[in-house]
């Protein structure tokens, strides 16, 4: 069963936990980057779904995801799906130039958009008659 870490810092979108479970993911939910990094020390998920939050007041970084993405550089198999505000697209592009993202979805998001982004990560169903 593939594992998914959902990092919900701000929310403001549909509860996606039932979708993740319906797709067959084993899900952990945390509500801060600090808790996410702690969770990664215990177990590395197959997928991380997180919000991109641009913050110009950080001294040495510009968003909530840079430290997390730096940790994930040692785990290139982890796929990251990011939700972002459209007005922050340019800032997200700067992050994406440094760290690979599997998918990015502009808010507001729908369950169908998230499902479409996650489906390619699931093992294909065996062919009928095989």
Model pTM score: 0.90
Mean pLDDT in the chain? 91
Q: What is the pLDDT of residue 62?
A: 76
pLDDT (mean) for 69-95:
95
Q: Is the pLDDT of residue 100 over 90?
A: yes
Q: Are 54 and 43 in contact (CB under 8 A)?
A: no
Domains and CATH numbers, the chain: 3-121 (3.40.50.2300)
Q: How confident is the model at residue 55 (pLDDT cuts 50, 70, 90)?
A: confident
Q: What is the largest CA-CA distance in the chain?
A: 59
Predicted confidence (pLDDT) at residue 22 exceeds the cutoff of 70: yes
pLDDT digits (tens, 9 = 90+) for 115-128: 999 999 996 655 56
Distance (Å, whole) CA 6 – CA 36: 9
Contact 104, 96 (CB under 8 A): yes
Give the pLDDT of residue 129. 56
Which residues fall within 8 angstroms of residue 78, CB to CB, at 6 or more apart? 44, 45, 46, 47, 48, 72
Mean pLDDT of 85-111: 95
Q: Report whether pLDDT(85) > 60.
A: yes
Beta bridge partners of 105: 83
- The pLDDT of 25-54, averaged and rounded, is 96
- Containing 117, the helix (H) or strand (E) segment is helix 111-118
């Amino acid at each position: 069963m593939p594992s998914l870490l959902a990092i919900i810092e701000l929310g403001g979108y549909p509860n996606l936990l039932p979708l993740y479970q319906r797709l067959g993911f084993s899900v952990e939910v945390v509500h801060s980057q600090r808790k996410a990094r702690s969770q990664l020390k215990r177990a590395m998920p197959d997928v991380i779904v997180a919000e991109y939050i641009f913050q110009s007041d950080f001294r040495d970084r510009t968003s909530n995801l840079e430290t997390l993405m730096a940790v994930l550089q040692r785990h290139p198999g982890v796929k990251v799906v990011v939700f972002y505000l459209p007005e922050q697209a340019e800032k997200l592009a700067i992050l994406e130039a440094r760290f690979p993202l599997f998918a990015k979805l502009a808010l507001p998001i729908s369950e169908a958009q998230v499902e479409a982004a996650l489906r390619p990560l699931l093992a294909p169903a065996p062919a009928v008659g095989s």
